[in-house]
Amino acid sequence: MASSPPKLRTVITANERLLNLKRTFEEKYGEAPLLYAYAPGRVNLIGEHIDYCGYSVLPMAIEQNILAAVSHNNSGTISLSNTNPQYKDFSVSCSEDIFIDRENPKWYYYFLCGVKGIQEKFGIAQLAGMSCVVDGTIPPSSGLSSSSALVCCAGLVTMEANQKSLSKVELAEICAKSERYIGTEGGGMDQSISFLAENGTAKLIEFQPLRATDVRLPDGAVFVISNCCREMNKAASSHYNIRVVECRIATKMLAKARGLDPSGLLKLAQVQTELKASLEEMLALVDEVLHPEAYSREEICKALGISAEQFSAELLSANTQHLTSFKLHQRAKHVYSEAARVLRFKSVCESAGADSIRTLGDLMSESHASCRDLYECSCPELDQLVDICLKSGAVGSRLTGAGWGGCAVSMVPSEKAESFLLAVRESYFLPDPRRAAMENQSLFVSKPGGGAAILLEE
Ligand code: GLA
């Protein structure tokens, strides 16, 4: 059963981090903040690169988050500052159109995505002025969704500053849509879990309509996040959008082969719905219709009966116009098999049988193999790390998030957690001085945390 979304406001007792942020805010703006808001990062346990294909995913929020201190005013300006001096101050006039530079994804553009989402939702001609200091504890470019947390936090404080009211589901949908201004065609998982997460439970996130259902993780195991220390900024490369485009083309090719009108179909899940087929049947269809060799533009245009111009305008995104070959069989195979693994993961969690932990671990490892071999979104460092995690006592391990760098998530029997951490530290982090220097932020146990909220001081 889908649970009702948790509350958007939480009363808290100020902790050290909040007091430090308050002090920074006061030094910067000469006044106290009016409110605080936070939005968490996430770790995806299973269901990678399938949200934008219309399939459910299974993430949980992590404890690391974006925390913002904010005041509203009539200055006619939005002023942004970050406690990390690496991220420079920025301000923009409320009467200017919000411009987001895709070529140059600076930290504050993510904030502006959230602001723009709220502005458009309500058609606000003149936004309220805001002063804001942001403090982040999610390691950036690590696949733990620091950018979406920033978009979500910005959406939340902009809603508040402009005296509007939205549900968490609406906020998640707005922020998922508005983050696309940065140029990546994300699927909505990150923003959804950032808003809809609840303490103590992972969530099955379903789309259209968006809803989140509790998934109780089995007792007797912990989830450990480890960063391979290769950074991946998905907005600064085209890897991510290339996969979105390949899935879109595969959708149309499968639809056309089965006599459906491909023009309205954009996601692999839509073909399954139209054909009323099971995921197993979809996997068989992929083998029957698509060949494993890469497709050229010409072959796709011919099969779909479209011109080269239509192909570029309707199927490719701005940063994928250069592509000449497309792997469709492998990508579709990954998506349909991963969608099945998510459903199986959820049902194994529900059954809580004697073998649950082993089965869940196997599903995670199968997911990694599919990401590595079929979806090609891993990298040598991640593969090495996943290998080390399995040798160090994990029952399952996989890359998490977009991939091509960033983190792995491992399921480890609780009694082995300590020896696991020591072994991974010794085999992966200590031998390399750069990794060793990052270790304290790069290897930790994570429990399902709560979702984004406005914080009111007690
Ligand atoms: C990024 C995107 C998500 C999702 C994952 C891969 O985090 O923002 O929407 O597609 O990659 O599963």
Using pLDDT thresholds of 50, 70 and 90, give the confidence band for residue 236.
confident
Phi and psi of 310, rounded to 5°? Answer: -60, -40
Is residue 370's pLDDT more than 70?
Answer: yes
Q: How many residues does the chain have?
A: 458
**pLDDT score, position 458:** 77
Is residue 360's pLDDT more than 90?
Answer: yes
Q: Determine the Cα angle at 251 with ends 245 and 253, to 5°.
A: 105
Candidate of 141, 190, 371, 375 to mutate for ligand 1, largest count of ligand atoms within 8 Å of Cβ: 190
Is residue 192's pLDDT more than 70?
Answer: yes
**Of the residues 97, 101, 135, 190, which is catalytic?**
190
Encoding tokens for residue 75? 């200055």
Candidate of 52, 179, 185, 189 to mutate for ligand 1, largest count of ligand atoms within 8 Å of Cβ: 189
89 labelled catalytic: no
Encoding tokens for residue 433? 């001085």
Encoding tokens for residue 259? 């006599």
Evaluate whether 86 touches 98 at the Cβ level (below 8 Å): no
CA–chain centroid gap for 130, Å, is 27
297 contacts: CB under 8 Å, gap ≥ 6: 308, 311, 323, 324, 326
- Give pLDDT tens digits for 372-417: 999 999 999 999 999 999 999 999 999 999 999 999 999 999 999 9
Is residue 1's pLDDT more than 50?
Answer: no
**pLDDT score, position 46:** 98
In this structure, the dihedral spanned by the alpha carbons of residues 383, 387, 388 and 392, taken in order and rounded to 10 degrees, is 150
**pLDDT score, position 233:** 79
Is residue 332's pLDDT more than 50?
Answer: yes
Q: Determine the Cα angle at 427 with ends 421 and 433, to 5°.
A: 105
Q: For residue 50, report the distance from its CA to the centre of ligand 1, in Å.
A: 8
Is residue 352's pLDDT more than 90?
Answer: no
pLDDT, mean of residues 330-334: 98
Using pLDDT thresholds of 50, 70 and 90, give the confidence band for residue 103.
confident
pLDDT, mean of residues 158-169: 96
Pocket of ligand 1 (CB under 6 A): 44, 48-49, 51-52, 145, 186-190, 401-402
Q: pTM of the entire structure?
A: 0.97
pLDDT, mean of residues 253-268: 97
Q: For residue 55, report the distance from its CA to the centre of ligand 1, in Å.
A: 12
Distance, in Å, from the CA atom of 369 to the CA atom of 396, rounded to the nearest integer, reads 11
**pLDDT score, position 14:** 84
User: Whole-number mean pLDDT of the chain?
Assistant: 95
Domains recognised in the chain with CATH numbers: 6-216+449-457 (3.30.230.10)
Is residue 3's pLDDT more than 60?
Answer: no
Is residue 5's pLDDT more than 60?
Answer: no
**pLDDT score, position 237:** 87
Distance, in Å, from the CA atom of 393 to the CA atom of 422, rounded to the nearest integer, reads 11
Strand duo 325-326 + 211-215: pairing: unpaired
Query: Which residue reads 């099971």 in tokens?
Result: 278
pLDDT, mean of residues 18-30: 97
- Give pLDDT tens digits for 268-313: 999 999 999 999 999 999 999 999 999 999 999 999 999 999 999 9
